[in-house]
Amino acid sequence: QVQLVQSGAEVKKPGASAKVSCKSSGYTFTSYYMHWVRQAPGQGLEWMGIINPSGGYTTYAQKFQGRVSMTRDTSTSTVYVDLSSLRSEDTAVYFCARAVCGGDCSFDGFDIWGQGTMVIVSS
Partner 1 sequence: SSELTQDPAVSVALGQTVRITCQGNRLRSYYVSWYQQKPGQAPVLVIYGTKNRPSGIPDRFSGSSSGNTASLTITGTQAEDEADYYCNSRDSSGNRLVFGGGTKLTVL
User: Residue 3: is it exposed, middle or buried by C-beta count within 10 angstroms (0-12/13-18/19+)?
Assistant: middle
Sole window of 12-20, 55-63, 71-79, 83-91 interacting with partner 1 (rule: CB under 8 A):
55-63
14 binds partner 1 (CB under 8 A): no
Q: Which residues contact 43 (CB under 8 A, 6 or more apart)?
A: 92
94 binds partner 1 (CB under 8 A): no
Instruction: Return the number of the residue (29 or 33) whose C-beta is nearest partner 1.
Output: 33
> Interface with partner 1 by CB under 8 A: which residues?
35, 37, 44-47, 50, 59-62, 95, 97, 100, 105, 107-111, 113-116
